[in-house]
Amino acid sequence: MKAKLKSIEGSITAPKGFLASGVFCDIKRLGTGKGSNKGRKRDLALLVSETPAVAAGMFTTNQVCAAPVKVCIPRVAKGRAQAVVANSGNANACTGRQGMKDAIEMTRAAAAAFHLPAEQVLVASTGRIGVCLPMDNLRAGIRQASQLLGHGPEHAAEAAEAILTSDSRPKQVAVEFKLGGKTVRLGGICKGAGMIQPGMSMSGKRPAARQLHATMLCFLTTDAAIERAPLQAALQEAVAQSFNRVTVDGDMSTNDTVLILANGLAENAPLASVRAKEFQVFQAALNQVCLELARMIVRDGEGVTRMVTLRLSGARSYTDADAAVRAVANSALVKTSWCGGDPNWGRIIDALGYSAATVVEEKVDIGYSAPGAKKVIWSLRRGQPTGVSFKTLCQAAAPREFDLHIRLNLGRAGAILYAADLTEAYVDFNKGDVSNPASLGG
Amino acid sequence: MKAKLKSIEGSITAPKGFLASGVFCDIKRLGTGKGSNKGRKRDLALLVSETPAVAAGMFTTNQVCAAPVKVCIPRVAKGRAQAVVANSGNANACTGRQGMKDAIEMTRAAAAAFHLPAEQVLVASTGRIGVCLPMDNLRAGIRQASQLLGHGPEHAAEAAEAILTSDSRPKQVAVEFKLGGKTVRLGGICKGAGMIQPGMSMSGKRPAARQLHATMLCFLTTDAAIERAPLQAALQEAVAQSFNRVTVDGDMSTNDTVLILANGLAENAPLASVRAKEFQVFQAALNQVCLELARMIVRDGEGVTRMVTLRLSGARSYTDADAAVRAVANSALVKTSWCGGDPNWGRIIDALGYSAATVVEEKVDIGYSAPGAKKVIWSLRRGQPTGVSFKTLCQAAAPREFDLHIRLNLGRAGAILYAADLTEAYVDFNKGDVSNPASLGG
């Protein structure tokens, strides 16, 4: 079902009853000395619902997972939360017992400001791994953030800015739609850039026999009235089609987190189950918001100059489709060819061939199209070059965004993946500068 | 058993009765116009034994595999061959029926020069995928190469040069050792550079439920007298410990091939089985030659500035050990940190965590040592930073070559992998220049 959605301003504060703020607490500048305001960046975001809300979440399936993720999982499982506190510049990952204490302390500090139980506050972090949080900075930041909360789009924008790490720009979306005659709003902010190949689940546990793969954080708000189970189901489905279908560099983070709060202030008839009449409308809206945010993450990935949407079909199973499409999207040689605008199908079929999927060379089709367009220029059909000129293929692979179509022609399963090129800028950024430890990324 | 090996000159022509040559037939210059000799590179190698020889081989397990691989597998299975013809500049992969005809034609042209049956000639190719071989050039090249064959080290050196693609230098090794009182020689040449993460098997078939992962080519010769079965067993073991343990960029090629010819001219008592008394001596010599060649491939990988030997122990199973060590070695973020000399253990433990291996954060140790040294500087023990200074860790991760030690502390299985950093030079080289198709790599 395609929801009639209207894009609106304000992202996470667009839905009724949500307040946000984003402040400076100098986590990102640690080690570089303080004093001037030059280069100071917002690094603490706070999001609060005026009324109790239903909560759902999806978390990294990395076995090495950060303290804030460990704190959130059981809280989200209870299904209710009223606030989210998040910092950038430090992932609070691999920080042992102190890390757990600090993550809980963050939620306590935020809870105290609003006279909430700490369990009603969720927490997320992103940044360098293995360094304990500067808790004095965080306490001061949380205090300030709770005083600066507001409903306006400028407040949402500051929160969106405060969760960024190597991102070049904030990422915000909000939509408005009708649910049972009532106007409902749904908004979100997210961050990505590097260590981006999320594979999230509700419990942080991996599905058996399947390898999943940023730090990406996403916070969603809605004033829809919806119960816990359908909200979690809707989020799982939306994440499966969006954040879990992107890869920038193939590295899955220790901190990936998507959270949604639904406070019911739109006063629609509450969605009590996935079979509720209006559930598909909500699902469609959530899918679209998540996909839009996920694609922003790929476009703004570290050093990224091209976003490629891989559309693979004809695999024997979904497992095969996923393995094949990830092998292509994460191949260093395929990614560098995208960087050069080189329609090198040889590297693509090579990656298909070494993937865990069943692939038969003589059956493979490879082609290009404009984003979402139906007209495909095939470079390879049934394993053989089609004779389309190199110049034409170069034109197809030249745009900043294009679709790469792969047909295995062996079965009926398919998969989509939103991927990026690998550039010198990515290497330059991530090799860092050991003479300036503060320059080193997560 | 550690064989007493003496390094000698001459690589593949060091053993008695082997002749080699390497000539120019302009495969690499196609499309750039002919005329001057500027930039002309050797691109056709020929290797011949004066007497019939026992043959063994290992081949890529990529499901998309090149015509020369398909031609070699059944020939090697018969266990006898007397010559190898190989070209660089064109992989003869994804070339359909014409590719198969051309590969067979290459062996016929070489066979004709020596009045051999074509089945006694093996063939290998490396270079761009998806373009048919320029057979006129190849026929002329094979004719010339068969006239220029010689026993001297200069002939071996020319053959070693003729198989290179993006390699910066030829790779040659030869050793001499005693087998039952007789002096035996073993030599090899190889090439690598990009699309390097071999996972070869004897049949080109993948072991069930295990994903394996250059074009790398390696040709080995020995004058040892050894029968087919022990020769294949020895090669399988040597490749498992060497070429199948390297990764430059994580991409497994369509053309990976290792071939060995044993002509028996050393007149040792023939090694008839793996239980033969002297077999372990031969195995040890072959292991060492293959490992030396494999490490040359990593050091000379595209854009590589650092070779890192990952030594992982304490995994629950070998499958886990291999998955964990490959996740680390192929992580874009780990590889770029090596490029910058950044001892970023956060990225290492992140990659361990998303690997298919069972990993428990609180048990992981990570450390550095000089190549092969016993003294390890641990940066992480039981998931916690050891407090060793960042400066000391930077010094440990600064050399051109170092060992990275990872202990999972969960079981008794281990794995070694020879890996490389990811540099701007790799990206620059592989993005190519679409305005000059001849510049584009494989």
pLDDT tens, position by position, A18-37: 999 999 998 876 544 445 55
Going by pLDDT thresholds of 50, 70 and 90, the confidence category of residue A193 is: confident
Q: What is the pLDDT of residues B245-270, one digit of tens each?
A: 998 888 888 899 999 999 999 999 99
Q: What is the pLDDT of residues A251-272, one digit of tens each?
A: 888 899 999 999 999 999 999 9
Total domain count, chain A: 2
What are the chain B neighbours of A364 within 8 Å (beta carbons)? 64
What per-residue confidence (pLDDT) applies to A13? 97
Distance, CA of B284 to CA of B286 (rounded, Å): 5
Selecting among A126, A215, A257, A309, the annotated active-site residue is A215
Query: Is B53 found in the same domain as B192?
Result: yes
For the question of residue B319 being annotated catalytic, the response is no
> Are residues B264 and B75 in contact, defined by beta-carbon separation less than 8 angstroms?
no
What per-residue confidence (pLDDT) applies to B437? 61
Q: Is residue B429 part of a domain?
A: no
Domain end call among B268, B299, B330: B299
Q: How far is CA B387 from the centre of its chain?
A: 39
Which helix (H) or strand (E) covers residue B404, if one does?
A: strand B401-407
Contact B355 A426 (CB under 8 A): no
Q: Is residue A442 part of a domain?
A: no
Selecting among B61, B165, B215, B423, the annotated active-site residue is B215
What per-residue confidence (pLDDT) applies to A422? 95
Closest CA to A75 of A237, A259, A230: A259
Locate B196 and state its tokens: 């390097």
The chain A residue lying nearest B361, using CA atoms, is A64
Q: In what order do the strands lie in the sheet with B377-381?
A: B384-385, B377-381, B365-369, B401-407, B307-315, B413-420
Query: Is B326 found in the same domain as B295?
Result: no
Locate A94 and state its tokens: 């691999």
User: What number of CA atoms fall less than 13 Å from residue A133's CA on the CB side?
Assistant: 33
Query: DSSP label at A32?
Result: S
Distance, CA of B365 to CA of B312 (rounded, Å): 10
Q: How high does pLDDT run on average in chain A?
A: 90
Q: With 90 as the cut, is the pLDDT of residue A98 above it?
A: yes
Going by pLDDT thresholds of 50, 70 and 90, the confidence category of residue A206 is: low
Contact B349 A385 (CB under 8 A): no
Q: What is the pLDDT of residues A312-349, one digit of tens each?
A: 999 999 999 999 999 999 999 999 999 999 999 999 99
> Are residues A158 and A406 in contact, defined by beta-carbon separation less than 8 angstroms?
no
Query: Is A210 found in the same domain as A264?
Result: yes
What per-residue confidence (pLDDT) applies to A294? 94
Q: Is residue B215 part of a domain?
A: yes
Q: Residues in chain B with pLDDT < 50? A: 31-34, 207-214
> Are residues B225 and B268 in contact, defined by beta-carbon separation less than 8 angstroms?
yes
Residue position matching structure tokens 């050093």: A303
Q: Is residue A432 part of a domain?
A: no
Question: In this prediction, what percent of chain A has a pLDDT beyond 70?
Answer: 91
Q: Is residue B441 part of a domain?
A: no
The region of weakest confidence among A136-150, A282-296, B197-211 is B197-211
Q: Is residue B348 part of a domain?
A: yes
Residue position matching structure tokens 């090249």: B141
Going by pLDDT thresholds of 50, 70 and 90, the confidence category of residue A194 is: confident
- Shortest Cα distance from A270 to chain B (angstroms)? 38
Q: Is residue B283 part of a domain?
A: yes
Query: Is A342 found in the same domain as A276?
Result: no
Closest CA to B442 of B105, B158, B69, B90: B90
What are the chain B neighbours of A430 within 8 Å (beta carbons)? 332-333, 336-337, 340
Domain end call among A264, A299, A334: A299
Distance, CA of B330 to CA of A354 (rounded, Å): 15
* Four-residue CA torsion sign, B28, B29, B32, B37: positive
> Are residues A375 and A394 in contact, defined by beta-carbon separation less than 8 angstroms?
no
Query: Is A251 found in the same domain as A210?
Result: yes
Locate A126 and state its tokens: 């992103």
What per-residue confidence (pLDDT) applies to A32? 43
What per-residue confidence (pLDDT) applies to B31? 42
Query: Is A406 found in the same domain as A271?
Result: no
> A410 CB contacts (<8 Å, ≥6 apart)?
A314, A315, A316, A358, A359, A360, A363
Contact A251 B345 (CB under 8 A): no
What per-residue confidence (pLDDT) applies to B433? 74
**Higher-pLDDT residue of A222, A114:** A222
Locate A9 and state its tokens: 């301003």
- Shortest Cα distance from A175 to chain B (angstroms)? 34
Of the partner residues B61, B356, B431, the one whose CB lies closest to the CB of residue A211:
B356
In three-state secondary structure terms, B141 is helix
Query: Is A138 found in the same domain as A226?
Result: yes
Mutate to test the interface with A, among B354, B380, B384 (most CBs of A within 10 A): B354
Domain end call among A236, A265, A299: A299
Query: Is B327 found in the same domain as B288?
Result: no
Contact A63 B442 (CB under 8 A): no
> A308 CB contacts (<8 Å, ≥6 apart)?
A329, A338, A401, A402, A403, A404, A418, A419, A420, A421
- Structural domain including A128 reads 6-299
Query: Is A65 found in the same domain as A116?
Result: yes
Locate A276 and state its tokens: 């509720």
> Are residues A303 and B332 in contact, defined by beta-carbon separation less than 8 angstroms?
no
- Shortest Cα distance from A47 to chain B (angstroms)? 28
Query: Is A148 found in the same domain as A29?
Result: yes
The enclosing domain of B402 has a CATH number of: 3.10.20.340
Q: How many CB atoms lie within 10 A of CB A53?
A: 26
> Are residues A379 and A367 in contact, defined by beta-carbon separation less than 8 angstroms?
yes
The size of chain B, in residues, is: 442
Query: Is B314 found in the same domain as B256?
Result: no
The enclosing domain of A212 has a CATH number of: 3.60.70.12
* Four-residue CA torsion sign, B420, B426, B429, B433: positive
What are the chain A neighbours of B438 within 8 Å (beta carbons)? none
Query: Is A289 found in the same domain as A400?
Result: no
Locate B25 and state its tokens: 């037939």
Q: Could you give the C-alpha distances from B284 to A28, A303, B8, B234, B235, in angstroms and in order?
A: 53, 46, 16, 9, 11
Q: Is residue A433 part of a domain?
A: no
Distance, CA of B361 to CA of A94 (rounded, Å): 8
Closest CA to B118 of B95, B135, B142: B142
- Shortest Cα distance from A435 to chain B (angstroms)? 9
Q: What is the DSSP string of A107-176?
A: HHHHHHHHT--GGGEEEEEEEESS----HHHHHHHHHHHHHS-BSSHHHHHHHHHHT-SS-SS-EEEEEE
What are the chain B neighbours of A329 within 8 Å (beta carbons)? none
